[in-house]
């Protein structure tokens, strides 16, 4: 039975006299516009619409296709129909759909999957996704599902109804660690006491360290009272909870002290930095200074400089600050710490698209003969220019600015001519693009950059560029291998349906998805 017409089509048909009565017209229009048949169920689970899931489910069970030729392409191959012809795909879509539902904290979709599928496995990744988002309701639902599975797995037990319950990989997951990483200490304590009944022995230290990162003093104290080891000092420094750091110091718990100052500085926790220095825990102060600059924590950078800690690495810190777009830190390091700017400084800023830093560096140093801002990179960097790395990362706004700079610099250089010496300043490097910029833009899929380069710097593409363009075309065994090893089950099924001969020459060794691997072995057995 075909699914009902789309609501939008019904509304439009009713507004047109004479069309609403022609049910076949409405059905044909709906079939033409409906893309749910080409949507894998697992992707639909990420939308958060049970109505969409119901439609994909209905389409998957429909054997009917529309007879009209102009509508036929939408019905030639439907991944949803593979749910009923390939048991591995059925299980794979359930597992992936459950992960998506848990990632989006969508209990309605989780319940829908549980109700509509039969005898599948809820993977550990789904449990961890729910735990990391603090979704106790989803975890309780899945625990109930697993309880039903255990009951029906007992000798002589029978499943109720047509569907069989699902196995839930709860005890194979790192659920406590995921909850701690998400900052849900209350969920950690609940799972430890009520789910694992106090017998959880997996990743205990990592769980405590993550709780410390989030400053969850209550959960830490509760677990320490139950015999767990306290968290490391360096993880407490990441969280910046002054009371937790003080609590650890008071107890003499200084494991990780060598990285504590660095971690506190990197996360901008100035009070923790001061406390650690006062306690004499001054280790890796140079890295602490650089990390504070890289993350834009100017007050920490200033305090460390004023206390003569780590600023001997200001030359490195300024490049890190520029590459992460922290202009105020760059200015402070240049003016107060006398850190010099080089072509590496502007290269880092251009790589990550920080135009305001690029503009400031050009304004400050373009006339400085001791600084060659636009010097090409090293051999290890393939002699690429600042504009090349901007193209590589798709930063068209940086490229166009540097192009304007280049035109202005060339105009000025041509206008300054000495009667005896000739052209003055002809040794100054002007920003430009090399042919590599086209290759980098193509490899990154940056269409707007390619279009701009075509208009302003185009050269004939090299073989490398043509390889990049050709990699998405055609159908070969490598395409099927890529789909299978890349966990794209629906793409692999489509390729196999169009070119069945591909599977016989496809390698199976690098397929991590157990469902795809089982399907490949069954469909295309390899004989030694």
Neighbours of 195 (CB within 10 A): 16
Could you read off the pLDDT of 287-340 as tens digits, one per residue? 999 999 999 999 999 999 999 999 999 999 999 999 999 999 999 999 999 998
**Burial of 250 per CB tally in 10 Å (0-12, 13-18, 19+):** exposed
Distances (CA, A) of 95 to 396, 425, 514: 40, 65, 11
- pLDDT tens column, 94-133: 999 999 999 999 999 999 999 999 999 999 999 999 999 9
Residue range 378-397: mean pLDDT, rounded: 85
Q: Which residues, including other chains, have CB under 8 Å from residue 207's CB and lie 6 or more apart?
A: 176, 177, 180, 188, 223
DSSP codes of every residue in 207-249: HHHHHHHTT-HHHHHHHHHTTPPPPPHHHHHHHT-HHHHHHHH
Compute how many other C-beta atoms are within 10 angstroms of the C-beta atom of residue 77: 15
CA dihedral 42→46→51→55, nearest 10 degrees, is: -30
Q: Cβ of 249: how many Cβ atoms within 10 Å?
A: 18
How far apart, in whole angstroms, are the C-alpha atoms of residue 93 and residue 428?
A: 59
Residue 73 pLDDT: 46
In the block, residue with structure tokens 């004989």: 527
Q: What is the pLDDT of residue 150?
A: 84
The pair of structure tokens assigned to 473 is 């075309």
> Which whole-number Å values give the CA distances from 307 to 104, 199, 269, 300, in the listed order?
46, 48, 16, 11
> pLDDT higher for 196 or 417?
196
| Tokens at 105, concatenated | 């904290």
Mean pLDDT, residues 140-149: 92
Confidence of residue 366 (pLDDT cuts 50, 70, 90): confident
Of residues 207 and 370, which shows the higher confidence score? 207
Q: What does the DSSP assignment read for 418-440? A: ETTTEETTTTSPPP---THHHHH
- In sequence order, the 6+-apart residues with CB closer than 8 A to the CB of 484 are 492, 506, 508, 511, 513, 516, 520
Strands 121-122 and 167-168: parallel
| Percent of the residues in the chain that have a pLDDT greater than 70, as a whole number | 75
Mean pLDDT of 202-228: 92
Q: Which of 10-19, 60-69, 119-128, 228-237 has the lowest mean pLDDT?
A: 60-69
Pairwise pLDDT comparison (526 vs 400), residue with the higher score: 400
Question: If DSSP codes are grouped into helix, strand and coil, which group holds residue 168?
Answer: strand
Q: How far apart, in whole angstroms, are the C-alpha atoms of residue 47 and residue 131? A: 20
DSSP code for 122: E
pLDDT band at 437 (very low <50, low <70, confident <90, very high): confident
DSSP character at residue 193: I
pLDDT at 407: 87
Weakest-pLDDT range from 345-349, 381-385, 521-525: 381-385
357-365 long-range contacts, CB within 8 A, separation 24+: 357/322, 357/325, 357/327, 357/330, 358/398, 358/401, 358/402, 359/401, 360/327, 360/330, 360/331, 361/322, 361/330, 362/405, 364/334, 365/341
Q: Tell me the range of 52-56, 235-239, 248-252, 484-488 where mean pLDDT is highest.
A: 235-239
Determine the pLDDT at residue 372. 83
Helix (H, G, I), strand (E, B) or coil at 417: strand
d(CA 89, CA 493) in angstroms, rounded, equals: 9
Q: Is residue 272's pLDDT more than 90? A: yes
More confident residue, 11 or 175: 175
What pLDDT score does 492 carry?
73
Rounded to whole angstroms, the Cα distance separating 122 from 167 reads 6
Question: Does residue 436 or residue 272 have the better pLDDT?
Answer: 272
Confidence category of residue 135, pLDDT binned at 50, 70, 90 = very high
Question: Does residue 167 sit in helix, strand or coil?
Answer: strand
Q: In this predicted structure, what is the pLDDT of residue 182? A: 96
427-435 mean pLDDT: 77
Cα separation of 56 and 50, whole Å? 10
Q: What is the mean pLDDT of the chain?
A: 82
CA–CA dist 178, 340 (Å, integer): 43
* Residue 191, number of CB atoms within 10 A of its CB: 21
Whether residue 504 has pLDDT greater than 60: yes
pLDDT at 252: 86
- Band (63; pLDDT cuts 50, 70, 90): low
Nearest of 338, 339, 410 to residue 374 by alpha carbon: 410
How confident is the model at residue 448, as a pLDDT?
83
In the predicted model, is pLDDT for residue 24 greater than 70? no
Does position 474 have pLDDT exceeding 80, yes or no?
no
Which two tokens mark 73? 């392409």
Is the pLDDT confidence value at 57 over 90? no
* Long-range pairs for 487-491: beta carbons < 8 A, 24 or more residues apart: 487/512, 487/513, 487/516, 489/88, 489/89, 489/92, 489/93, 489/513, 489/515, 489/516, 489/519, 490/40, 490/79, 490/82, 490/89
The pLDDT value recorded for residue 78 is: 65
More confident of the two residues 19 and 261: 261
């Amino acid at each position: 039975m075909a699914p009902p017409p789309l609501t939008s089509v019904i509304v439009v048909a009713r507004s047109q006299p004479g069309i609403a009565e022609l049910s076949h017209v409405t059905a044909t229009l709906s079939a033409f516009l409906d893309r749910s048949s080409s949507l894998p169920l697992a992707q639909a689970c990420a939308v958060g619409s049970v109505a969409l899931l119901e439609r994909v489910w209905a389409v998957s069970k429909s054997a009917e296709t529309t007879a009209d030729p102009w509508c036929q392409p939408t019905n030639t191959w439907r991944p949803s129909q593979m749910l009923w012809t390939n048991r591995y795909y059925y299980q794979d879509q359930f597992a992936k759909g459950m992960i998506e539902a848990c990632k989006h904290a969508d209990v309605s979709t989780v319940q829908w999957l549980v109700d509509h599928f039969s005898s599948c496995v809820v993977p550990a990744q789904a449990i961890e996704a729910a735990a990391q988002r603090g979704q106790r309701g989803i975890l309780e639902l899945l625990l109930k599902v697993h309880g039903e599975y255990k009951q029906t797995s007992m000798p002589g037990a029978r499943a109720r109804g047509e569907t069989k319950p699902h196995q839930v990989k709860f005890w194979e997951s790192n659920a406590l660690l995921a909850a701690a990483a998400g900052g849900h200490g209350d969920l950690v304590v609940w799972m430890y006491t009520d789910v694992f009944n106090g017998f959880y022995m997996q990743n205990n230290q990592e769980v405590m360290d993550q709780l410390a990162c989030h400053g969850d003093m209550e959960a830490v104290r509760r677990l320490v009272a139950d015999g767990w080891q306290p968290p490391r000092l360096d993880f407490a420094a990441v969280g910046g909870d002054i009371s937790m750091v003080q609590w650890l110091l008071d107890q003499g718990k200084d494991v990780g002290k060598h990285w504590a100052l660095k971690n506190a500085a990197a996360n901008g926790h100035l009070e923790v930095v001061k406390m650690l220095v006062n306690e004499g825990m001054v280790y890796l102060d140079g890295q602490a200074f650089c990390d504070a600059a890289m993350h834009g924590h100017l007050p920490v950078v200033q305090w460390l400089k004023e206390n003569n800690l780590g600023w001997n690495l200001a030359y490195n810190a300024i490049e890190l600050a520029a590459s992460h777009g922290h202009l105020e830190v760059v200015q402070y390091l240049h003016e107060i710490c006398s850190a010099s700017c080089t072509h590496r400084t502007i290269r880092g800023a251009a790589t990550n698209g920080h135009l305001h830093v690029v503009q400031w560096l050009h304004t400050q140093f373009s006339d400085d003969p001791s600084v060659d801002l636009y010097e090409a990179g090293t051999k290890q960097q393939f002699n690429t220019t600042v504009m090349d790395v901007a193209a590589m990362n798709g930063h068209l706004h940086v490229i166009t600015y540097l192009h304007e700079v280049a035109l202005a610099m060339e105009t000025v250089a041509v206008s300054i001519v000495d009667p005896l010496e000739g052209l003055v300043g002809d040794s100054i490097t002007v920003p430009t693009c090399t042919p590599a910029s086209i290759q980098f833009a193509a490899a990154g899929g940056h269409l707007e950059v390619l279009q701009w380069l075509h208009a302003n710097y185009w050269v004939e593409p090299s073989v490398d560029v043509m390889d990049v363009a050709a990699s998405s075309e055609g159908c070969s065994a490598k395409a099927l291998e890529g789909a299978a090893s890349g966990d794209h089950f629906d793409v692999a099924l489509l390729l196999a349906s169009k070119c069945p001969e591909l599977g016989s020459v496809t390698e199976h060794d690098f397929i991590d998805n157990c469902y795809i691997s089982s399907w490949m072995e069954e469909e295309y057995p390899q004989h030694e």
